[in-house]
């Protein structure tokens, strides 16, 4: 074992410096041993806990635990190895064997998958005190900031969601449309008469422009756009898969994220303070959050206003750019079948309203609405939705199996997987916007924007934004797809199409505004 420094000093007559060095080395060695022993004890305890919980979960009433490699179960690691290969692969492998409900052990946690509308009903209808978002989305706190969304209790978060809802009221949305049209017209005018673009890159850029105008405010869009965009980029890149488990891990992506968050706070503090002092009223989401008041009369701090803005931006930026891209790619890939509907709709609307695009005009674009909705059905950017069960609850599968999901389980449902189930949608792998002409789907069948209590508050804004972009595009251009339709990129936190997403465009005759085919001439082929 380790000798004590006084004895060493007495017998070896070493100098005080040597004593200090020996003491330091002994302390380091002792610390390493203590940490190692403690880690081993914790590991063994977790193994015992894992084995015990597996025995408890053998009850017929609880969901089946997945087993891989001929039934081999690795304590602690469990289904983590399969999970890391990709949730879609895991579900595709587990669903045929276990059905609509199964549990994946990940370290000391249990993730119970609820796939399909019948078993996910409680997931969407439950109150926050029954199915909580906070525990599974707390990794966003370093990005959003303290005191907002997932860093507050249920009651405070409910009030903050009311602030979100206020920013998305119809009178606000009517104002946003004009901003979106202005940005889209200016953006596509730069395309010229013909050329080739990467659709995902182009629409991502445009979405950032419109988001800056509608959400972040005039000051940012007109004076600080480049600087803020660069910081938001670093903030975005700071959210990596590791962040979900270790949001404060000392990695370069997190360091850049934290610096970007601080720099954004400095910029917005000046903008917000200037608005507060001048009393100016701007028609944007920033102003809504500045004016917001809790029931007790208190207001958001400047940093919390920024946190709310970041939350809104992250909720919509990638999802809108990805969905607008898939809307175009799928329609262009099936242009003989789908484009006639979209073109004739624009022609009809222009005869009625001229070139005007506003909130009411967008509401008349049913065919375009169906196209966006179908693109989102086939390729939802968020392939998994998560909650943590705060109570035990029962589920019954389509084939009559009954399970009790225990309190403490992380619950997951998947729009991407459920939307491709034959029992939910007829010919689910076929791109067919016309399927939505008759809305006969059961509750939670279509969950591109969630459902029930957890439906996305930004759904109307998202449809409005995407329909604005594509109404401008369809009115002004004809398109061809270059190469094959891209595959989904499941490597990202938010799933979009793989690059490249190249299309060829040609501007329509500005006087004639193009010739539009009749849907009766359509071919019967599909591409999905």
pLDDT of residue 11: 30
pLDDT of residue 477: 98
Q: Which residues contact 450 (CB under 8 A, 6 or more apart)?
A: 124, 385, 456
Angstrom CA distances, 281 to 2, 223, 265, 294, stand at 71, 18, 21, 19
Q: Given the structure tokens 């087993």, which residue do they identify?
A: 67
Q: What is the mean pLDDT of each run of 10 residues along the chain (528 residues)?
A: 33 39 48 54 52 50 78 56 81 95 88 97 95 94 97 94 94 94 97 97 95 93 93 92 90 97 97 93 94 97 97 91 98 97 98 97 98 98 96 96 97 97 96 90 92 90 97 98 96 90 94 49 45
CB 206 within 8 A of CB 183: yes
pLDDT of residue 1: 39
3-state secondary structure 391-450: CCEEEECCCCCEEEECCCCEEEECHHHHCCCCCCCCCCCCCCHHHHHCCCCCCCCCCECE
In angstroms and rounded to an integer, the radius of gyration of the C-alpha atoms of the chain is 27
Domain 145-217+282-380+419-521 architecture: Orthogonal Bundle (1.10)
CATH code 1.10.630.10 region(s) in the chain: 145-217+282-380+419-521
Residue 456 in marked binding region = yes
């Amino acid at each position: 074992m380790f000798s004590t420094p006084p004895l060493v000093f007495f017998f070896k007559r070493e100098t005080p410096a040597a004593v200090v060095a020996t003491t330091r080395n002994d302390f380091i060695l002792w610390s390493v041993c203590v940490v190692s022993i403690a880690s081993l004890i914790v590991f063994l305890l977790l193994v015992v806990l894992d084995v015990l919980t597996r025995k408890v979960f053998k009850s017929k009433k609880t969901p089946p635990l997945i087993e891989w490699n001929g039934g081999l179960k690795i304590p602690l690691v469990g289904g983590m190895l399969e999970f890391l290969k990709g949730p879609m692969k895991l579900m595709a492998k587990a669903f045929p064997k276990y059905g609509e409900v199964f549990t994946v052990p990940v370290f000391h946690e249990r993730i119970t998958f609820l796939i399909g509308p019948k078993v996910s009903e409680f997931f969407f209808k439950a109150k926050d005190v029954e199915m909580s978002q906070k525990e599974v989305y707390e990794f966003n706190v370093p990005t959003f900031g303290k005191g907002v969304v997932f860093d507050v209790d249920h009651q405070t978060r409910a009030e903050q969601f009311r602030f979100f809802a206020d920013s998305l009221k119809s009178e606000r949305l009517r104002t946003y449309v004009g901003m979106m049209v202005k940005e889209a017209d200016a953006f596509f005018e730069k395309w010229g008469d013909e050329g080739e673009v990467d659709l995902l890159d182009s629409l991502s850029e445009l979405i950032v422009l419109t988001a800056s105008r509608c959400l972040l405010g005039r000051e940012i869009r007109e004076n600080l756009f480049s600087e803020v965009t660069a910081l938001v980029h670093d903030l975005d890149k700071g959210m990596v898969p590791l962040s979900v488990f270790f949001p404060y891990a000392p990695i370069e992506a997190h360091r850049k994220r934290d610096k970007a968050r601080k720099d954004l706070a400095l910029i917005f503090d000046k903008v917000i303070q200037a608005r507060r002092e001048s009393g100016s009223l701007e028609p944007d989401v920033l102003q809504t959050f500045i004016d917001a008041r809790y029931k007790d009369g208190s207001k958001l701090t400047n940093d919390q206003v920024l946190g709310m803005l970041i939350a809104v931006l992250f909720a919509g930026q990638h999802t809108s750019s990805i969905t607008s891209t898939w809307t175009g790619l799928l329609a262009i890939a099936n242009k003989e079948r789908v484009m006639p509907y979209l073109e004739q709709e624009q022609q009809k609307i222009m005869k009625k309203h001229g070139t005007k695009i506003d909130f009411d005009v967008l509401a008349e674009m049913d065919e375009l609405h169906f196209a966006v909705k179908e693109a989102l059905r086939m390729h939802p950017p968020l392939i998994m939705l998560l909650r943590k069960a705060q109570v035990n609850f029962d589920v019954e599968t389509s084939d009559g199996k009954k399970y009790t999901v225990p309190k403490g389980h992380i619950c997951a449902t998947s729009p991407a997987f459920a939307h491709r189930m034959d029992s939910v949608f007829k010919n689910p792998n076929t791109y067919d916007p016309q399927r939505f002409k008759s809305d006969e789907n059961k509750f939670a069948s279509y969950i591109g924007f969630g459902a029930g209590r957890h439906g996305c508050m930004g759904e109307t804004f998202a449809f409005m934004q995407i329909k604005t972009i594509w109404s401008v595009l369809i009115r002004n251009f004809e398109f061809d797809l270059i190469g094959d339709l891209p595959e989904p990129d499941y490597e990202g936190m938010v799933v979009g199409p793989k690059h490249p997403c190249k299309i060829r465009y040609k501007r329509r005759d500005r006087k004639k505004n193009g010739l539009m085919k009749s849907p009766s001439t359509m071919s019967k082929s599909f591409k999905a």
